[in-house]
Structure 1
Amino acid sequence: MIKLYTICLCFFLATVAVNAQTRYFTKDGHISFYSHALIEDIKADNHQVLSVIDTESRELAIQLLMRSFTFKKALMREHFNENYVESHIYPKAKFTGRIAEIKLNDTNPYETEISGTLSIHGVEKEVSTKAQVRIEADKITLSGDFNVVVADYNIKIPALVRDNIAKIVKVSFELHHKPYK
């Protein structure tokens, strides 16, 4: 699994055909999701998120393995992977898009728009959200959150547990990019 992950990262980085000084990346970004429901809240974290920013074109690409989400309970992880996102069929989630504005010389945090295509469970949808940008020394940090409507991605919730799982899930991200060398 790690070997496949590394090969995917190398292929992913090789496809960004630009000057290396304009590329920033992370392989340990953090994405989490939170689902509030009457019976039980569900929270999961993924700290193995790949992300590349090209500051010249303002392009952003993010990729993660669905099986890398960790949960409070093992049974939640099993149900998530086997019954809902079917990670054996749809192993990755991806985002490709653009950052509206990158101010490399501004050390004050600022807000910008990120928009592009989010692919989950074999379904691609256009999304747009506000993100906080922090430029520190040689790092670019993007953070923010947005909502995902579960039904938009053809993720089926069985009637038996429909009240246990929110129809809208809050997704949060924090990505600390360093120069790609």
Structure 2
Amino acid sequence: MNKLLFFCYLLMALVSTSDDTSNRYITRQGQVTFFSYTNVENIEAKNNQVLSVIDFDKNEIAISMLMNAFIFKKALMREHFNESYIESDLFPKATFEGSIVDFDPTNTTFQTKLIKGKLTIRDITKDIEIKTNIEYTDGKYILAGEFDLTVKDFDIKIPPLLAPNIAKTISVTFRLEYQAYEI
């Protein structure tokens, strides 16, 4: 709970009501998708309710998403994901706090940068680095990329009977389209 309060504080600090918000950008409808390949059936889900804030003065980024907002092709997959694996009633959010390495917001050409930070899922925090494509178009920044997560790193328990049906590594893709934050 303390981590959740700290994260909320961080988001509020990034979008505080100070006079200088010119280098702060926000998205409330970012997209995160994950994919798991198995021999039996592929599992894919999409979350279009991802909140994120970037402060380009500090090159800091914060992301928060509700785990039960992932949409699956089959209702049973969603039920298993939320109840058995993620336990979204106990761990409702995933968060990321980090920084964009060597990013220059005045350079409006396409850039590929490394984002380093801490990803928290199920109250387990891991350091990660994500290669991210950044483009500036029509006053908006778009960050997109992909990375892999290992199920065991976040203590997700898979029953032995179902183990062949769930990949050990999950592919995650994201696309976050930011607009200037306005008070």
- Runs of 4+ with >6 A deviation: none
Structure 1 residue 101: Cα displacement: 3.0
TM-score, normalised on structure 1?
0.91
User: What is aligned with 2:155?
Assistant: 154
Q: Deviations over 1:63-121 (max 9, x none)?
A: 00000000000000000000000000000000000011333333321100001000001
Q: Deviations over 1:36-75 (max 9, x none)?
A: 0111110000000001000010000000000000000000
Structure 1 residue 137: Cα displacement: 2.8
TM-score, normalised on structure 2?
0.90
User: What is aligned with 1:125?
Assistant: 126
Q: Deviations over 1:9-52 (max 9, x none)?
A: 98664222563111100000000000001111100000000010
Does residue 74 of structure 1 match 2:75? yes
Tell me, yes or no, if the aligned pair for 2:11 and 2:62 is still in contact at 8 Å: no
Identical positions, percent = 42
Question: Partner of 1:166: helix, strand, or coil?
Answer: coil
User: What is aligned with 1:3?
Assistant: none
User: What is aligned with 1:98?
Assistant: 99
User: What is aligned with 2:172?
Assistant: 171
| Count of residues paired in the alignment | 173
Q: Deviations over 1:116-172 (max 9, x none)?
A: 000001100000010000011311110000000000000001111100000000010
Distance 2:10 2:50 in 1: 13
Question: Partner of 2:161: helix, strand, or coil?
Answer: helix
* Aligned-residue CA RMSD (Å): 1.6
Structure 1 stretches lacking a partner, 5+ long = 1-8
User: What is aligned with 1:5?
Assistant: none
User: What is aligned with 2:12?
Assistant: 14
User: What is aligned with 1:143?
Assistant: 144
